């Protein structure tokens, strides 16, 4: 059991998402940065889809009521165990009554905490991922008690050969494919998408990231059509909207681009003001 002493700015429980419910209007959800989430799980010997704690910009304060093993990946939020700095990207033994805290954000935007056996919150539609309108709570709250596995920390096998590549946290290029409506753009507008320096606006969250500046266009709205995490929509006003893990399942704005899975991970680690460029990929 883990007691939440402080929540941080926005902390949730996430696994790899829920699948098979798009026709009911239920989005995938899941960890924004799938790479960091899966790597944290690997470090403690979990399946890659075990539920982890995702923390955004500022970390939580957690009291462990029994011994376990943890791993922290993604953004560096200066983690400490009982007030002493601990390493990221490694499995760490935690004893009963130990307190995990986080401090200054050094790089990235989202941190992932994996616990041996995973966080055992309630499954809804096959997933433990928190999401507003789907689960009872859409983020963890102060005073919550989080269930965890009874697996002994002594049974952990060291994963010394695993090496995390943090370079993507500083990557400023997003690789994209052409979207269904890309060819409806004028050639000048197409070139502008890839020559323009873009910036993350203040409107960014688990549902979508808006990018600046506006891209002038004459595209008309389309019939409501399927959208996915990573779909880049272009509004009539010229607003680029990159849909993320908690996005809606359909939309009426032209889908001009589609981010690769790696680029979704990269973008999820960007905060307001981060500069980006788009690069077109071959299929």
109 & 199 share domain? no
pLDDT digits (tens, 9 = 90+) for 3-38: 999 999 999 999 999 998 888 888 899 999 999 999
- Domain final position from 110, 133, 167: 167
41 & 176 share domain? no
Backbone angles phi, psi at 39, to 5 degrees: -65, -40
Question: Whose CA is closest to 7, among 40, 54, 67, 52?
Answer: 54
Q: Which two tokens stand for residue 238?
A: 């010229």
Number of domains in the chain: 2
155 pLDDT above the threshold of 50: no
| This prediction's pTM | 0.93
Q: For residue 171, what pLDDT is reported?
A: 93
Q: How many CB atoms lie within 10 A of CB 111?
A: 31
19 & 132 share domain? yes
- Domain final position from 167, 187, 213: 167
Residue 241 has, within 13 A of its CA and on its CB side, a CA count of 22
pLDDT digits (tens, 9 = 90+) for 34-89: 999 999 999 999 999 999 999 999 999 999 999 999 999 999 999 999 999 999 99
212 & 248 share domain? yes
Find the range with the poorest average confidence among 15-29, 77-91, 123-137, 156-170. Answer: 156-170
DSSP3 helix / strand / coil % (the chain, rounded to 5): 15, 35, 50
150 & 13 share domain? yes
138 & 247 share domain? no
149 & 13 share domain? yes
33 & 98 share domain? yes
| Band of residue 158 on the pLDDT scale cut at 50, 70, 90 | low
23 & 153 share domain? yes
Containing 192, the helix (H) or strand (E) segment is helix 187-195
99 & 187 share domain? no
Mean pLDDT over each residue of the chain, to the nearest integer: 92
CB 54 within 8 A of CB 67: no
Provide the residue range defining the domain that includes 50: 2-167
24 & 135 share domain? yes
Where residue 197 sits, what CATH number does that domain have?
Answer: 2.40.100.10
- Domain final position from 142, 167, 192: 167
140 & 223 share domain? no
């Amino acid at each position: 059991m883990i007691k939440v002493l402080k929540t941080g700015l926005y902390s949730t429980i996430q696994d790899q998402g829920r699948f098979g419910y798009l026709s009911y209007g239920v989005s995938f959800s899941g960890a924004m940065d799938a790479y960091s989430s899966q790597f944290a799980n690997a470090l403690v010997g979990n399946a890659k889809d075990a539920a982890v704690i995702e923390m955004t910009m500022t970390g939580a304060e957690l009291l462990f009521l029994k011994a376990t093993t943890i791993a922290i990946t993604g953004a560096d939020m200066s983690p400490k165990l009982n007030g002493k700095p601990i390493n990221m990207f490694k499995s760490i033994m935690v004893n009963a009554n130990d307190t995990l805290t986080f401090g200054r954000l050094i790089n990235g935007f989202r941190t992932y905490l994996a616990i041996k056996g995973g966080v055992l919150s309630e499954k809804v539609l096959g997933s433990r991922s928190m999401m507003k309108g789907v689960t009872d709570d859409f983020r963890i709250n102060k005073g919550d008690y989080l269930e965890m596995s009874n697996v002994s920390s002594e049974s952990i096998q060291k994963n010394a050969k695993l090496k995390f590549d943090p370079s993507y946290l500083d990557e400023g290029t997003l690789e994209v494919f052409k979207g269904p409506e890309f060819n409806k753009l004028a050639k000048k507008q197409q070139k502008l998408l890839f020559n323009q320096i873009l910036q993350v606006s203040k409107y960014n969250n688990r549902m979508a990231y808006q990018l600046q500046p506006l891209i002038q266009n004459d595209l008309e709205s389309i019939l409501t059509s399927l959208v996915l995490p990573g779909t880049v929509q272009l509004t009539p006003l010229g607003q680029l909207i990159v849909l993320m893990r908690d996005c809606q399942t359909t939309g009426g704005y032209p889908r001009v681009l589609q981010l690769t899975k790696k680029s979704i991970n990269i973008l999820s680690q960007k905060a307001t003001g981060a500069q980006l460029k788009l690069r077109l990929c071959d299929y």
